Amino acid sequence: MPDRDLPEDLVLPLATGEPWWYWSGGRPAVDFVNTQRERWRRGVETLITPADLSAWLVQAHVMDEPAAVSQAVLAQARDLREAIDALLVATIEDRAAPVAAVTLVDDWLVFAGVRPQLVPDAAGGVPRLTERAAADSPRRALGMIALDAATMLGTEQRSRVRICASETCSGRFFDRSPAGRRRWCSMRTCGNEAKARRHRQRLRKTFH
């Protein structure tokens, strides 16, 4: 469901954004950026409430189960999203990365790190190295989003980031096609629409 599929009569701001999430970004950091819909026109926010963010993180498979999210974390998550998008767009446009955006994403990486813990094994008391439970699961999940963004934009993988070529879609995506020439966020929607539009143009030229 790319950006162009939002109804014209959509009542804004939304009460909840969950019905309007889509998952064609190809990786968590890009899907996260796409929670801001219609960047080309109305700028529709779909992370409306703390519950929205909690649900999105679960559906993105970066958090195991819903957890309480504060308004402050929701605001910080939106800031992280926009920083990732700023880096993504700068990469596509071959511009220098905004320093503030780099710093903000980097600040989140600390939450993505492992937290080792040595505990006695329940059976025989033998020490066992495990990982501590995250003190703040939503922050940990957002740290994983930041790590995914850093891996994508801070390595040669950056050459695969794209913005949908449709004039009526601002969907971002990571191009996993073998040739690296994918143009549409979804061939089934934006790609097919572009093909149909070219076909209509050819017909008009033929009969006029």
Q: What are the structure tokens assigned to 61, written together?
A: 């498979």
Q: Over its length of 208 residues, how does the chain's per-residue pLDDT go in tens digits?
A: 666 678 999 999 999 999 999 999 999 999 999 999 999 999 999 999 999 999 999 999 999 899 999 999 999 999 999 999 999 999 999 999 999 999 999 999 999 987 888 888 877 778 989 887 766 689 999 999 999 999 999 999 999 999 999 888 889 999 999 999 999 888 776 866 655 555 455 555 555 5
Contact 53, 74 (CB under 8 A): yes
The total of structural domains in the chain comes to 1
Question: Residues for the chain: how many in total?
Answer: 208
Span 144-163, pLDDT tens digits: 999 999 999 999 999 999 99
Could you tell me the pTM of the whole model? Answer: 0.86
pLDDT of residue 182: 92
Q: What angle do CA 52, 56, 57 make, to 5 degrees?
A: 120
**CATH code of 12's domain:** 1.10.3300.10
* Residue (of 163, 176, 115) closest to 143 by Cα position: 115
pLDDT of residue 1: 65
For the residues of 2-42, what is the DSSP string, one character each?
Answer: -GGGS-TT--SS-S--GGG----SSSHHHHHHTTEE-TTTT
CA–CA gap between residue 148 and residue 108 (Å, rounded): 11
Provide the residue range defining the domain that includes 58.
3-207
